[in-house]
Amino acid sequence: MRLSRYFLPVLKENPAEAQIVSHRYMLRAGMIKQQAAGIYSWLPLGYKVLKRIEQIVHEEQIRAGHIPLLMPTLQPADLWRESGRYDDYGQEMLRIKDRHERDMLYGPTNEEMITDIFRSHVNSYKDLPLTLYHIQWKFRDEVRPRFGVMRGREFLMKDGYNFDLTKEDALHAYNRHMVSYLRTYERMGLTAIPMRAASGPIGGDNTHEFLVLASTGESEVFYDDRVTELKLGTRDVDYDNRAEVLGICDEFTSLYARTDETHDAAVFEQVPEAHRKVGRGIEVGQIFYFGTKYSESMGATVVTADGSRVPVEMGSHGIGVSRLLGALIEANHDDKGIIWPEGVTPFHCGIVNLKQGDAATDAACEGLYKALKAQGLDPLYDDRDERAGAKFATMDLIGLPWRITVGPRGLANGVVELTSRRSGESEEMSAEAAVARIAQIYADHP
C-alpha cells in the first residue's frame, strides 16, 4: 500500500477522552472512530489488525478440530425464555421489538441458539463429539463502556460450543480449548495466563480465564511469576491425544495464578516469596464446562448405544477478538507509539523515502516495494511529500515492526537502512539483503 493513497487519519494531539495508552494510540493511529458510547467504526488500519487476529483465531480453532459456522447477531427472545436467561440476564441485554411486536435481542452470547441448532439436527451419540464456533459481533449494554475497544458495548467475540456424550469427553473438549487458546495467544506474541475463575451468568463450575498482565487491566491477579515463562513454542500438539492435551493443561495451570474472585491467600502464601506477585490483568478469553445446564432445559438430547436418551454434555469458550487489539497494545508500546508483534502487524514493514521526488531515491523505493510484494509481503510505502521527521513519527506511531529507510546518501554507498521498531537498532545493507531479511523474519512467524 502507498501511504499517499491509503486512508490513515492520524491525530497529532492526544485525544482527551482516552484514559489508557491502547485507546489513545488506537485513536491517534487512525484505527478506530467512536460512533456512540462503546460502539466503534473500524478504520482501515484497525480493521486490518482485527482481521489478522481473527485469522489466527480461525486457524487455531480449525487446527484443534473445531468447526466454523455463523449465527446471526439478532436472536428471538423465546429461545432465551426456554433457558430462563431472558429474565436473568438483566440490563446488559439489548432488547428490541420488531414491527410485529415480537421480542428480539442483540446476542450477548450464543449458548441458547447453538443448543437450538444442535437439537434440530443431531439425534445420535454417533454424531459426537462436535464443537462448533463462530466469530461474530456481540452486544452487551455495559454500564460503563470504557478504554476503547477493551470494554465496548458492541464487540467481536469468538465463541465456541462443544457437545459431548460423557463428562469425560466434555472435559477433554475443555482441555483442548485451553491448549488451542494458549497457541492462539502465543502466535500473537502475547502471554495469556490461564487462571481459575468464577463462572457468572454462563453457569457451571469448571472455568478458566486467560489474562494478559498489564498495569491497566481491570482484574487484580495473584500469581507465581514463573508462570509467565511457560511457552508452547513450536510443539506440535495432537489434539486427539487426551494424555498429551491434559499434560499441557497441567503444566500451564500447576503454578499459582488466580483472579480475585478465586484467590486463596493461604495457598498463595506457599509460593516462594521471590516468585509471589500481585498485579493486574486483562481478560482476553474464558472457557467453561457446564455439563447439561442448557441441554436439559432446552431438550438437547442424543440416543446412546443402548437406546436410551440423555442430555448432551456441553461447554462454551470465548475469545475477546476486538479486546485483543487493546490488550496487544497495552503489552507492546513505548512513548512513541505501538510496537506490533510480527504475528498481527497490519503491514509487514514500512518503507520511508527520505527524499521524495529525487529520481534515484524514488526508483529505489519503488524497486523495494515491488520486491517485497513479490515475496508475498505487505509493505506500507510512505511516499508522501513530507519531512523525514514526520514520516518517522507516523511509522513509530502505527508500530510496524520493521522499517526500511531509503535516502540518497545511503544509495550512493549501495545501502538502505533496516530498523527494528522494538529495539530501535538499525543496520545498513543492500536493498536485496533487506528484502531477504524481512522475508525470513515472516517465514519464522507464519
Per CB under 5 A, residues contacting Mg ion are 286
Q: Choosing among Mg ion, ligand ATP, none, which partner's interface includes residue 323 (Cβ < 5 to 8 Å by kind)? A: ligand ATP
Contact 196, 258 (CB under 8 A): yes
Name the minimum Å distance from CB 198 to ligand ATP.
9
Name the minimum Å distance from CB 260 to ligand ATP.
11
Closer CB to Mg ion, residue 129 or residue 281? Answer: 281
Name the minimum Å distance from CB 52 to ligand ATP.
17
* DSSP state, residue 143: S
| 103-106 and 74-76 beta bridge pairing | antiparallel
298: Cα separation from own chain's centroid:
31
Name the minimum Å distance from CB 82 to ligand ATP.
20
Name the minimum Å distance from CB 35 to ligand ATP.
15
* C-alpha cell belonging to residue 47: 480493521
Name the minimum Å distance from CB 184 to Mg ion.
16
The residue with its CB nearest to Mg ion is: 286
Closer CB to ligand ATP, residue 212 or residue 338? Answer: 212
Q: Choosing among ligand ATP, Mg ion, none, which partner's interface includes residue 320 (Cβ < 5 to 8 Å by kind)? A: ligand ATP
In which residue are the cell numbers 506440535 written? 236
Name the minimum Å distance from CB 224 to ligand ATP.
22
Closer CB to Mg ion, residue 190 or residue 380? Answer: 190
Q: Choosing among ligand ATP, Mg ion, none, which partner's interface includes residue 155 (Cβ < 5 to 8 Å by kind)? A: ligand ATP
Closer CB to ligand ATP, residue 280 or residue 422? Answer: 280
Closer CB to Mg ion, residue 168 or residue 205? Answer: 205
| 402-406 and 426-429 beta bridge pairing | unpaired
Closer CB to ligand ATP, residue 183 or residue 323? Answer: 323
Instruction: Decide: helix, strand or coil at residue 89.
Output: coil
Give the phi and the psi of residue 148 in degrees, each rounded to 5: 65, -135
Name the minimum Å distance from CB 214 to ligand ATP.
13
Closer CB to ligand ATP, residue 320 or residue 407? Answer: 320
* C-alpha cell belonging to residue 91: 440490563
Give the phi and the psi of residue 17 in degrees, each rounded to 5: -75, -10
Q: Choosing among Mg ion, ligand ATP, none, which partner's interface includes residue 152 (Cβ < 5 to 8 Å by kind)? A: ligand ATP
Residue ranges with strand state E in 214-363: 219-224, 257-259, 276-291, 301-303, 309-311, 313-320, 333-334, 337-338, 349-353
| 276-291 and 257-259 beta bridge pairing | unpaired
The residue with its CB nearest to ligand ATP is: 320
Q: Choosing among ligand ATP, Mg ion, none, which partner's interface includes residue 326 (Cβ < 5 to 8 Å by kind)? A: none
Closer CB to Mg ion, residue 111 or residue 383? Answer: 111
Name the minimum Å distance from CB 88 to ligand ATP.
14
* Site residues (vs ligand ATP, CB under 6 A): 109, 140, 142, 151-152, 155, 157, 283-286, 318, 320, 322-323
Q: Choosing among ligand ATP, Mg ion, none, which partner's interface includes residue 394 (Cβ < 5 to 8 Å by kind)? A: none
Instruction: Decide: helix, strand or coil at residue 60.
Output: helix
Contact 389, 339 (CB under 8 A): no
Q: Choosing among ligand ATP, Mg ion, none, which partner's interface includes residue 134 (Cβ < 5 to 8 Å by kind)? A: none
In which residue are the cell numbers 441485554 written? 93
Q: Choosing among Mg ion, ligand ATP, none, which partner's interface includes residue 285 (Cβ < 5 to 8 Å by kind)? A: ligand ATP
Name the minimum Å distance from CB 437 to Mg ion.
41
Instruction: Decide: helix, strand or coil at residue 243.
Output: helix
Q: Choosing among Mg ion, ligand ATP, none, which partner's interface includes residue 224 (Cβ < 5 to 8 Å by kind)? A: none
What's the CA dihedral at 212, 111, 249, 285 to 10 degrees? Answer: -10
Contact 349, 381 (CB under 8 A): no
Q: Choosing among Mg ion, ligand ATP, none, which partner's interface includes residue 157 (Cβ < 5 to 8 Å by kind)? A: ligand ATP
Q: Which of 25, 11, 47, 8 is nearest to 334 (CA)?
A: 25
Closer CB to ligand ATP, residue 302 or residue 329? Answer: 329
Q: Which of 169, 185, 164 is nearest to 60 (CA)?
A: 185
Closer CB to ligand ATP, residue 64 or residue 211? Answer: 211
Q: Choosing among ligand ATP, Mg ion, none, which partner's interface includes residue 313 (Cβ < 5 to 8 Å by kind)? A: none
In which residue are the cell numbers 454424531 written? 127
Name the minimum Å distance from CB 142 to ligand ATP.
5
Closer CB to ligand ATP, residue 285 or residue 337? Answer: 285
How far apart are the C-alpha atoms of 25 and 23, rounded to whole Å? 6
Contacts with 85 (C-beta within 8 Å, 6 or more apart), sequence order: 112, 201
Q: Which of 36, 149, 162, 156 is nearest to 107 (CA)?
A: 156
